[in-house]
Amino acid sequence: MFYWIYDIPNGLLAGLMCLVCLSYTWIGLLTLRPWIRKWLGSEQGGENEFVSYFLSAYGVFYGLMLGLIAVATYQNFSDVDGKVAREVTSIAALYRDVSSYPEPVRSSYQNHLRGYVHYVIDEAWPAQQRGIVPMGGSMRVTNFQKDLFAFEPKTKGEEILHAEALRQFNVFIEARVAGKQSVGASLPEELWYVVVIGAALNLALIWMFSIDRVSIHLALSGILSLFVGLMLFFIAAMDNPFRGTLSITPEAFQMLLDSTMNSR
């Protein structure tokens, strides 16, 4: 849902979410204030105290849920970033291994890996940023696998080198599969309904106070709504690790290409 929000810069997205929460809170407060004051009475009554207790209790449960979700989205972002780093590390190690093979297979293996990294940067990453699992890399990996498995060692040193290269190739495959499975990693749609509806109810509770000075009522409700808006922005920005301005970039692959594969 709402993947279009990831086309908006982070600063603007945070401002829009805070503005929506603030507008919702203030419009509801100013619209319902006359009826709520008649219903609940003045601020000297016991109704405000009851509303305060109820808001505190609700805030504990909703705040705890929101905090846990925020931590979970950040942890998921960090885990996906770690998977990308492991794939890059495995490719770097494999590239070092195949660089010790004799010619002409050495250049062939290096070209396979270099082509795969170029594909990830130029084609796979833009697809992942649109939420699409890229499939073009499978053929490149398969072609490299066929060439690698076809090599026949002629010396004991080549046998050891080839065994290590095969082991490192399997590590690369595991890291690559784990990375592809993380492209669509995000919160379930149902949980987003709970978060958004919970935020609306939380902000609506502050309407229930009966305060004589409307400026104080607006200031207190505004502070709460801005904080809720910032929390919603944080969760949304971190929820899809490959989408939006605040996302995982192919910088690690580019560094590998520049520092190792293109070095002389």
Q: At what angle do helices 105-119 and 47-98 cross, to 10 degrees?
A: 160
pLDDT by residue, tens only, the chain of 264 residues? 567 788 888 889 899 999 999 999 999 988 888 887 777 655 445 666 777 777 888 888 888 898 899 999 999 899 999 999 999 999 999 999 999 999 899 999 999 999 999 999 999 888 888 777 778 888 999 999 999 999 998 889 889 999 999 999 999 999 998 888 787 778 888 889 999 999 999 998 888 877 778 888 899 899 999 999 999 999 988 888 888 778 888 999 999 988 888 754
Q: Is the dihedral of CA 156, 158, 164, 170 positive or negative?
A: negative
Domain residue extents for the chain: 9-218+239-261
- Residues with Cβ within 8 Å of residue 9, at least 6 apart in sequence: 245
For residue 43, what pLDDT is reported?
47
* pTM recorded for the entire structure: 0.79
Rounded Cα distance between 116 and 39, Å, is 68
For residue 263, what pLDDT is reported?
58
HEC string of the chain equals CCHHHHHCCHHHHHHHHHHHHHHHHHHHHHHHHHHHHHHHCCCCCCHHHHHHHHHHHHHHHHHHHHHHHHHHHHHHHHHHHHHHHHHHHHHHHHHHHHCCCCCCHHHHHHHHHHHHHHHHHHHHHHHHHCCCCCCCHHHHHHHHHHHHHCCCCCCHHHHHHHHHHHHHHHHHHHHHHHHHHCCCCCCCHHHHHHHHHHHHHHHHHHHHCCCCCHHHHHHHHHHHHHHHHHHHHHHHHHHCCCCCCCCCCCHHHHHHHHHHHCCC
